[in-house]
């Protein structure tokens, strides 16, 4: 049966994550949402996510070797566990996405709770922490520097200096690295721009 949609995979800077881009909306009630395997009290790992929350993310998280699913506006990013191989995971992930598309269901079910918007001071503190601890070491490793410049209406402003200023890969670093990382942790972030 032909589902009448197109999808392609894209590599990300993280070798444990692949982004599947669809030609249709994925996340619609929120700009993005992240789902991770949950740890159980007995130390085992469980899905902890039902189809009532996300008919798209739940079946993907049930695939052995998958540890995270990120739903974006028109894409699904899947993160595998260390030691798992994409050659074994790609086909079941694609099959799960095709089943979801064929169902016509939204990506988010009736039990999905839209995150409450945090006030800007909390968001700015989260942004600064991620930039300082997760982003700065990688930028410095390449001979550059990143500084937080501001946050307003979902837009994070940063200043790139050193090797990063004027680097041909700066836009890739901004979108696929810094922006993706911030969006993963902070639902209020919509985009990152360099000043």
Question: Which residues make up the CATH 3.30.300.130 domain(s) of the chain?
Answer: 120-194
Task: Give yes or no for a contact between 178 and 193, defined as CB atoms under 8 angstroms apart.
Answer: no
Superfamily (CATH) of domain 120-194: Fe-S cluster assembly (FSCA) (3.30.300.130)
What is the per-residue pLDDT across 133-142, written as a single tens digit (0 to 9) for each?
888 887 777 6
- Inform me whether the pLDDT recorded for 60 exceeds 90: yes
Percent of the chain with pLDDT over 70: 83
Q: What is the separation of C-alpha 27 from the centre of its chain, rounded to a whole number of angstroms? A: 11
Name the most confidently modeled range: 50-64, 114-128, 143-157, 165-179: 50-64
17-22, strands of its sheet edge to edge: 7-11, 17-22, 75-80, 66-71, 33-36
* Residue 89 pLDDT greater than 90, yes or no: yes
pTM tops 0.75: no
Cβ atoms 15, 28 nearer than 8 A = no
Is the pLDDT at 46 greater than 80? The verdict is no
Question: Encoding tokens for residue 113?
Answer: 């709770």
Domain boundaries for CATH 3.30.1370.70 within the chain:
7-103
Q: Is the pLDDT of residue 16 over 80?
A: yes
Question: According to the model, what pLDDT value does residue 119 have?
Answer: 61
> Is 7-103 CATH 3.40.50.1860?
no
* pLDDT attached to residue 106: 93
């Amino acid at each position: 049966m032909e589902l009448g949609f197109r999808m392609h995979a894209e590599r990300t800077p993280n070798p444990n994550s692949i982004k599947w881009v669809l030609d249709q909306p994925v996340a619609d009630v929120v700009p993005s949402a992240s789902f991770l395997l949950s740890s159980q009290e007995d130390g085992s790992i469980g899905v902890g996510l039902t189809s009532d929350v996300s008919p798209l993310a739940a079946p993907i998280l049930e695939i052995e070797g998958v540890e995270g699913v990120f739903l974006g506006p028109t894409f699904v990013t899947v993160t595998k566990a260390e030691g798992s191989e994409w050659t074994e995971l790609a086909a079941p992930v694609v099959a799960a996405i095709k089943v979801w598309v064929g169902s016509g269901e939204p990506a988010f079910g009736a039990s999905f709770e839209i995150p409450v918007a945090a006030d800007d001071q909390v968001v700015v503190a989260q942004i600064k922490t991620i930039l300082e601890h997760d982003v700065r070491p990688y930028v410095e490793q390449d001979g550059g520097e990143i500084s937080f410049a501001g946050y307003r209406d979902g837009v994070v402003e940063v200043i790139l200096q050193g090797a990063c200023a004027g680097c041909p890969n700066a836009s890739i670093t901004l979108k696929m690295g810094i922006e993706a990382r911030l969006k993963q942790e902070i639902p209020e972030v919509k985009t990152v721009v360099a000043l």
